[in-house]
Amino acid sequence: MAVADPVTVGVLSLHTSKETKAILNAVEDLGHETEWLRQENTSISVADGQVVLEPDVDVIANRMLLSNTEQPAEELGLANTFARVVPMLNEPATVLTAMHKLSTATTLAMADVRTPDVVLALSSDELNAVRNQYGEEAVYKTAIGTHGGGTWKVGPEDPINAKVGNRYAFLQELIDRDDERHRDVRIYVVDGDIIGAMYRYAPDNDWRTNVALGGSVEDATDDLPPDARELATRAADAIGLDYAGVDLVESDEGWFVLEVNPTAGFKGLYEATEISPAPHIAKLAIERAGGSVDEGRVQELSTRLDDSTPTAQPVARTVTETEPTVVGYTEEVVLSGTSGSTSVLAKSDTGATRTSIDTGLAAEIGAGPIKSITRVKSGSRKTARSRPVVDVVVGVGGNQHTVTASIEDRDHMDYPVLLGRDILSNYRVDVGRRADRDAEDRPEEEE
């Protein structure tokens, strides 16, 4: 449908996702123009006092996945630069508050929005000193994390540190209902309105409800009590987000806000509710830029999740793209858990789905506690073996990855760590390069 004065909506997203595509397609379906701000087509310049952003847009919808990147400040600064030029939905300051879980908790508490008790201490001694205040079981999290990564349930004797890798970690009160399957509710809020909601249930052998971890979902849109609805909209407003996925959990004492996510996914929500937030975000962006939309068309579009390739997807340039970082057949890595970090040699195995680490090494760094049990086939074996899996932070070539690694006895093997595709998919593997051999062959430097 054509409109008299179309505006141009840019979506800032350096990654490719269903959500980004759906928002761009919804803008076009509402009769307006789009630009996908990516590496291939985006620049900003200052010349003779004039600031120019390319491509030229009237408003930007911020879809930067900052919690997933190893250097969130870099991309947050990029978004902040763009926000100085044109209006932005989910402005950088609000995203900074939302992505840092302690910043979220303090902001919500100061706005009288109910959250679980938390404590972050800058020293491990201080953090362990207050552990007993959180009962037999507590939640231990990294302050920045996503998809349930960097989240553990800990008992009184489990070691905890002020940092996991280079990220601060904190203790949180465990909110649960007695004798009931663990669940929470994700409520999607756009411009103060609830678009849809879903219950998320933890998978077998886990307590976390994230869809990315295999949790199941159920429509909760019409089942939400008024106090949960009010809590979700107040939380999004307190953080200052234009759109957000607000996670709530219920205890015998009522509802609590767990997190407020500025780039919450749509896949699980649409699976549960057959409602897409994309047209509602598109509508808000268009109106923020001074454009107009047909409200009936917004409702019509929200019944499908159109993640087909948008016309705004930039054409890849013919110049050679930057090569991915190279890792060797063996590589020195840094493993970090709840009780410390250590540097070890690891073997790269592109045939392995999951990274695995030695049992003794896992105990040394405090990898765990055990989240679940997985069945793994090894080599020519026809039967699978059961292995526990734990969250661990793996540093490779200056980058850090929070992965769910399997634990096995590798004492009889040459390397205590095997890097799987969960890490190696980010790199190019050179099987001729070996950290152990290259270190031995390297000539000594002259003094």
Task: Give the Cα separation of 117 and 130 in Å (integer).
Answer: 12
> 54-64, pLDDT tens digit by residue?
999 999 999 99
HSE-up of residue 259 (Cα within 13 Å, Cβ side): 25
Phi/psi of residue 94, each to 5°? Answer: -70, -35
**172, 247 contact by CB (below 8 A):** no
> 356-381, pLDDT tens digit by residue?
999 999 888 877 655 555 555 555 45
Contacts of 183 (CB under 8 A, 6+ apart): 199, 200, 201, 202, 209, 249
Closest CA to 355 of 370, 382, 338, 376: 376
Task: Give the Cα separation of 140 and 101 in Å (integer).
Answer: 12
> Which of 88-92, 111-115, 359-363, 378-382 is least confident?
378-382
> 307-361, pLDDT tens digit by residue?
999 999 987 654 444 567 889 999 999 888 777 778 899 999 999 999 999 999 9
Longest dimension (CA), the chain: 76
**27, 9 contact by CB (below 8 A):** yes
Task: Give the Cα separation of 280 and 300 in Å (integer).
Answer: 11
pLDDT given for residue 208 in this prediction: 47
pLDDT given for residue 3 in this prediction: 63
> Which of 81-85, 136-140, 163-167 is least confident?
163-167
Closest CA to 120 of 98, 99, 105, 135: 105
Task: Give the Cα separation of 312 and 314 in Å (integer).
Answer: 6
pLDDT given for residue 260 in this prediction: 96
Task: Give the Cα separation of 156 and 279 in Å (integer).
Answer: 47
Task: Give the Cα separation of 139 and 115 in Å (integer).
Answer: 13
Q: Is 247 exposed, middle or buried (0-12, 13-18, 19+ CB in 10 A)?
A: buried
> 154-205, pLDDT tens digit by residue?
888 887 889 877 788 999 999 876 666 678 999 999 999 999 999 988 765 5
Beta bridge partners of 35: 10
Mean pLDDT of 3-20: 90
> Residue 199: how many CB atoms within 10 A of its CB?
18
> Residue 158: how many CB atoms within 10 A of its CB?
17
Q: What is the pTM of this model?
A: 0.77
Length of the chain: 447
- State both tokens at 387: 């292995």
> 388-397, pLDDT tens digit by residue?
888 788 888 7
> 397-419, pLDDT tens digit by residue?
767 787 888 999 998 899 999 99
pLDDT given for residue 363 in this prediction: 86
pLDDT given for residue 178 in this prediction: 62
> 274-292, pLDDT tens digit by residue?
999 999 999 999 999 999 9
Whether pLDDT at 103 is above 90: yes
- 215 vs 18, higher pLDDT: 18
Instruction: Please give the share of the chain, as a percent, with pLDDT higher than 90.
Output: 57
pLDDT given for residue 172 in this prediction: 94
- State both tokens at 43: 């620049």
> 413-440, pLDDT tens digit by residue?
999 999 999 999 889 899 989 987 754 4
Give a three-class secondary structure readout of the chain: CCCCCCCEEEEECCCCCHHHHHHHHHHHHCCCEEEEECCCCCEEEEECCEEEEECCCCEEEECCCHHHCCCHHHHHHHHHHHHCCCCEECCHHHHHHHHCHHHHHHHHHHCCCCCCCEECCCCHHHHHHCHHHHCCCEEEEECCCCCCCCEEEECCCCCCCCEECCEEEEEEECCCCCCCCCEEEEEEEECCEEEEEEEEECCCCCCCCCHHHCCEEEECCCCCCHHHHHHHHHHHHHHCCCEEEEEEEEECCEEEEEEEECCCCCHHHHHHHCCCCHHHHHHHHHHHCCCCCCHHHHHHHCCCCCCCCCCCCCCCCCCCCCCCCEEEEEEEEEEEECCEEEEEEEEECCCCCCCEEEHHHHHHHCCCCCCEEEEECCCCCCCCEEEEEEEEEEEECCEEEEEEEEEECCCCCCCCEEECHHHHCCCEEEEEEEHHHHHHHCCCCCC
User: How does the average pLDDT of the chain come out, rounded?
Assistant: 86
pLDDT given for residue 22 in this prediction: 97
Whether pLDDT at 242 is above 70: yes
